[in-house]
Structure 1
Amino acid sequence: MKHALVLAALMVGLAIPAASADGDFDADVLFLGEIHDNPAHHARQAEIVARVQPKAVVWEMISGPVAVGLTPEIVQSEQVLEATLSWEENGWPDFSMYYPIFKAAEGAQHFGAALPREEARRGMGEPPLMVFGADAWQYGLDRPLPADQQAAREALQKAAHCDALPDDMLAGMVNIQRLRDARLAAVALEALGVTGGPVVVITGNGHARKDWGAPAVLAYAKPEARIFALAQGEEGHAAPEGGFDRTETAPATEREDPCAAIRK
């Protein structure tokens, strides 16, 4: 029965019950959302990691093979770690914002959940079921999304890309988002099995949504898991949507309008 309820949450976007009524961080897996270029969000993630002392940290930004090679000696040096991760080449914001999270997670095992580029390319034209592999059913990828959720996700993708994407590309972008959510959930589940938890997942707010993001996928795969999801928004902007257990707000980061060049 519980599995059926989680499936309903995953497929129609209903929020999964919170990990704890008082908003504490007592959970098997904690998804700590962020806006990638906001340093206050990363400082808060580091603070929570230091408090929780997770046995494992799952990173949206790191590939699985690279994470396997992260020895304590490599993690000890910010410069060596940044080079090992090819951080700048992969297009992520300044590594100095993320490094305090690694320091706070001293002793934790690191897991990479970045979707390989080849799988992302395939996701543009193939169903997630065909791309993810044999375990796709475990993460709900054998089921199409309800029409209203598919439309909502496509609208979000269009807005996120400055309304510049052709409509026939939007379904593929949603496929990639589902694949990334499933990869995060699968790696978090692996990390939980290997270490016993708790597990912290560092990811963007969009992937940390409890209504249809990686927490919903993880809950579908392992209904008994205790899951917590934090969203971090910015002052002066609408709060992130997605049925989070907690939403916090930090000062906004000054940034150029990413759509300005397209409007010219």
Structure 2
Amino acid sequence: MKWALLSLAFALPAQATEITPDGLDSLSGFDVAFLGEVHDHPGHHLNQARAIRAIEPLALVFEMLTEAQAARAPSTWDNAESLASALEWDGSGWPDFAIYYPIFQAAPEARIYGAAVPRDQARALFGQALPDVFEGDAERFGLDQPLSAPEQAARETLQAEAHCNALPVDLLPGMVAVQRLRDAELARVAELALHETGGPVVVITGTGHVRRDWGAPAALALAAPQITTVTLGQYEMAAPDPALTDFWIVTDAVARDDPCAAFQ
């Protein structure tokens, strides 16, 4: 039964569809919507806000906020600066709060949840096993099971590429474990938010976390297959083939400094 559920959780969407932002206006009818982004792309956040207005969620789950930060979210706020201050966003390492603010404006009555993995918890994975670090039920979310050799290798390759092939090889398994932990935490908090608010729930996170084959939706499908979900990926210039989300949007890239410069 365990492996049958794993196969179900990691299945790719049957009908993946590229859409334009207009298609976000009808994105509703699910318990949990995973809305991906390229973090520093203002247009991606505007698209997320547009989807949120259609979904009308009762809860917003953020990869960018810890549980403690989310607990400080006020019931009302006057402007982006006051909300950013309450959430202690500045200094968090995430892009300017101004480009995230439309997401909050789109659902001002929604309850805010944080699903960020604290740094000390992530660091612990370089010396401890996933089930010992995850604060939820590791078995429910598949963290008690090792990855297959091909998937482990594929994930390590992605981690190497994401870090400009500058990481020592012996760090890559730990980086994969951190990614799995973050996916499971997003899924755990999404399930909690659905239970506490009745939903719908929107999860705001990077597009890498919303892929159906091994991202947060897969972890949630394994833990609670009765919960209905939809996934939206947002990409710059081109989407992967095959598509890894139910729907996806391709946008132009934003101008940015060379991300690999920091590793040189």
TM-score (norm: length of structure 1)? 0.91
Question: Where do 1:73-222 residues align within 5 Å?
Answer: 73=76, 75-133=77-135, 135-222=137-224
Deviation at 1:116, TM superposition (A): 1.3
Give yes or no for contact 2:72–2:87 (8 Å, CA) kept in 1.
no
Give yes or no for contact 2:131–2:144 (8 Å, CA) kept in 1.
yes
- Specify the code of the residue in structure 2 equivalent to 1:26: G
Deviation at 1:26, TM superposition (A): 1.9
Deviation at 1:84, TM superposition (A): 2.0
Question: Where do 1:5-16 residues align within 5 Å?
Answer: 5-10=4-9, 13-16=10-13
Find the aligned partners of 2:198 and 2:16 in 1 and give their Cα distance.
17
What value does the CA root-mean-square deviation take over the aligned residues?
2.2
Find the aligned partners of 2:49 and 2:148 in 1 and give their Cα distance.
37
Find the aligned partners of 2:15 and 2:89 in 1 and give their Cα distance.
33
Q: Sequence identity of aligned pairs in percent?
A: 47
Deviation at 1:215, TM superposition (A): 0.3
TM-score (norm: length of structure 2)? 0.91
Find the aligned partners of 2:192 and 2:103 in 1 and give their Cα distance.
21
Give yes or no for contact 1:18–1:227 (8 Å, CA) kept in 2.
no
Q: 1:147 to 1:194 in 2, by over 3 A?
A: same
**Deviations 1:108-163 (Å, cap 9, x if unpaired)?**
11100000111101012211111114511111111001111010000000000010
Give yes or no for contact 1:9–1:15 (8 Å, CA) kept in 2.
no
Give yes or no for contact 2:67–2:116 (8 Å, CA) kept in 1.
yes
- Specify the code of the residue in structure 1 equivalent to 2:261: A
Find the aligned partners of 2:55 and 2:81 in 1 and give their Cα distance.
26
Q: Name 2:258's counterpart in structure 1.
A: 257
Q: 1:41 to 1:240 in 2, by over 3 A?
A: farther
Give yes or no for contact 1:182–1:217 (8 Å, CA) kept in 2.
yes
Deviation at 1:6, TM superposition (A): 3.6
Q: Name 1:53's counterpart in structure 2.
A: 56
Find the aligned partners of 2:64 and 2:78 in 1 and give their Cα distance.
19
Q: Name 1:30's counterpart in structure 2.
A: 33
2:112 is paired with a residue of what secondary structure?
A: strand
Aligned length: 257
Find the aligned partners of 1:154 and 1:244 in 2 and give their Cα distance.
21
2:91 is paired with a residue of what secondary structure?
A: helix
Deviation at 1:242, TM superposition (A): 5.8
Gaps of 5+ in 2: 18-22
Gaps of 5+ in 1: none
